Amino acid sequence: MNYTVLSPWAEVDQSNLTRLSPRLDDLNGKTIGMFGDFMINATYMLGAMEKELKKRYPNASFTYMRYLKETTDISTDEEFDQEFQAWAANVDCMLSFYGSVPSSALFLGYNSAYMEKLGKPTVMLVTPRTLSAGLRGIKARGVPNLRTIAYELTVDKISGHTNPAIVENAMADSIADLTDEIVSALTSPLTAGEAQPEPSDQEYARSAYTGTAEEISKLFYSYGWTNGTPIGMPTREAVDEMMRGTDLPADYIVAKIPPMMGCATVEKIAVNAVMAGCLPTYLPVLIAAVRGAMDPKIYLEGWCCSQSTWGPVLTLSGPIVKDIGLNVADNALSPYYKANAAIARAFGYLMMNIGGLRPGIEDLSEAGHEFRMGFCMGDNTDENPWGPLHTDFGFDLKDSAVTMFWPQEHRTISGVSPADFLTGLCKLNPFGWEPGAALIFTPICAKMFADAGWTKQRILDYMVEYARRPASEVDLVWLVNNNHPPETVDLPVNPNHSTRIFWSRKHMFALVAGGKAGPMMTVFTGGGDHGGPSCAKIELPGGWESLVKQYSDTTPAYINY
């Protein structure tokens, strides 16, 4: 049987395509803006470049600007943007250094494109490994031809345990050639493509595809639109049925998902939902998940393009948990049930096909993560003695919501008393410069804590206060040189002092899920550095009750054997 199916790939708004600024005739007598990202090596490299350029252009002058935020677009930082534009007004061109990790390279691309849009000839420098992320950044901001150089710095590019002399020595053998490249990029006349960039072809997003289910699945995998498992066929009829899960029009753009900045229309979300095996009752969850992922608390690019190993977790709370048959009892964290499995898979496809996330190109995680294709769980409202998760974020009890979080590590703690669990929680030592945690209590464990007078907030506060380690085990040099000090406390000044593992409970939350065999707790830790968690309300369509009734048969009737 042949199917004609819609494409899951998103279109990109290319109305902001920008030509490059005219190049300079000569650098003598010019003021060169030296822009460094949050990592200290960028500043050291720029200092070495200044010395080499001064040999060639003794009448050139140099002025420095450093942006100390890791994953923020300058144009969205109102206070800094004013300072930056005032600085940029007094320079003739800019050198933009140094995308040493993928997430910072992506944002260096954003910010370098912004410099070109201010009318300043700009050259961006990134590592060969992060070049693809940097290029994605400049394309996402409409300056696809910005002149970029890939350069390998043969010192530790990340730790910050360097100094100007180490960096200059590492650059000594290659700085003349690098300077030649930079001078050429600042002075060579524009090509026709640079002077008038052409929109890229969007045919993949607009096409329909015809074939058998096997042929469509194989084709979509060859394009990188699936993980290779068989998919639901996103025919016109199936997508229209999926869109019964919202009152929003098909062409409504919920968000533009990075790093591609693909337009997440309701229809494109629905196409990917069909492919993942979702029901129409899951669509409002996915729309809310997109909104939650785009919340500024998340800094989505910092997660999806990081070389570290994070994975997205969607946590549903409120009446929708029962409406769609999400499992929150035994095996609550296992993908045995359709809602848990299909929603997770669909979110992974949204990141791939609307965000444009490709392994080894934008997703440069060194190890990857089993949650990269999504993970979905729920809060058991009936067994939660403290109230459902979304009420912690200010939503009403009757609301439903999805909480977004990108953890890294998975731990299990058991015990017979609150003291046992608190001791286990305070032994956690997750990776991350400002780590977070999601605490998942089994119902018996939650009741035990509640009966003893413990609230969720009190438990989290206890962890913040008593989960500690010697300051000597903390990479204070990295935190200082790469501008990641905690917001809420001072860093220790003496290595013999102890320090918090969780700086605050800003990136922490708790819920209840699991069976009733005994008290147990699962903790997802890590994350936090780039923000979150976020919580987004799930907006239900008119006629929700009848839709739920139609798709209520979601629990397997297991055979006896």
Full 3-state SS string of 347-404: HHHHHHHCCCCCECCCECCCCCCCCCCCCEEECCHHHCCCCCHHHHHCCCCCCCEEEE
456 by Cβ neighbours in 10 Å (0-12 / 13-18 / 19+) ranks as buried
- pLDDT at res. 377: 97
For residue 70, pLDDT over 80 is answered with: no
**pLDDT classification of 233: cutoffs 50, 70, 90:** very high
For residue 51, pLDDT over 90 is answered with: yes
Report CA 354 to chain centroid distance, whole Å.
14
pTM of the model: 0.94
For residue 465, pLDDT over 80 is answered with: yes
Q: Which residue has the higher pLDDT, 87 or 555?
A: 87
Per-residue pLDDT tens over the stretch 325-337: 999 999 999 999 9
For residue 404, pLDDT over 80 is answered with: yes
**pLDDT classification of 488: cutoffs 50, 70, 90:** confident
Token pair, residue 359, equals 């392994």
Domain spans, the chain: 31-195, 204-467+502-535
For residue 482, pLDDT over 80 is answered with: no
Measure CA of the first residue to CA of the last residue in the chain; give whole Å: 35
Count of CB atoms within 10 A of residue 319's CB? 17
Per-residue pLDDT tens over the stretch 274-286: 999 999 999 999 9
For 224-242, what is the mean pLDDT? Answer: 97
Question: Are 53 and 80 within 8 A, CB to CB?
Answer: no
Angle between helices 283-293 and 266-275 (to 10 degrees): 120
Per-residue pLDDT tens over the stretch 521-530: 999 998 767 7
- pLDDT at res. 176: 96
- pLDDT at res. 309: 80
Question: Are 531 and 298 within 8 A, CB to CB?
Answer: yes
**Residue type present at position 129:** R
Would you say the C-alpha torsion 132, 138, 141, 146 has a positive or negative sign? negative
- pLDDT at res. 158: 64
Look at 37-41, 121-125, 385-389 and tell me which has the smallest mean pLDDT.
37-41
Q: Which residue has the higher pLDDT, 494 or 319?
A: 319
Per-residue pLDDT tens over the stretch 131-182: 999 999 999 999 999 999 999 988 876 666 889 999 999 999 999 999 999 9
- What is the spatial distance between Cα 136 and Cα 131, in angstroms, rounded to a whole number? 9
- pLDDT at res. 229: 92
Give the percent of the chain with pLDDT over 70: 99
β-pairing verdict for 498-500 and 468-470: antiparallel
Domain 31-195 CATH class label: alpha beta
- pLDDT at res. 110: 95
β-pairing verdict for 93-99 and 31-36: parallel
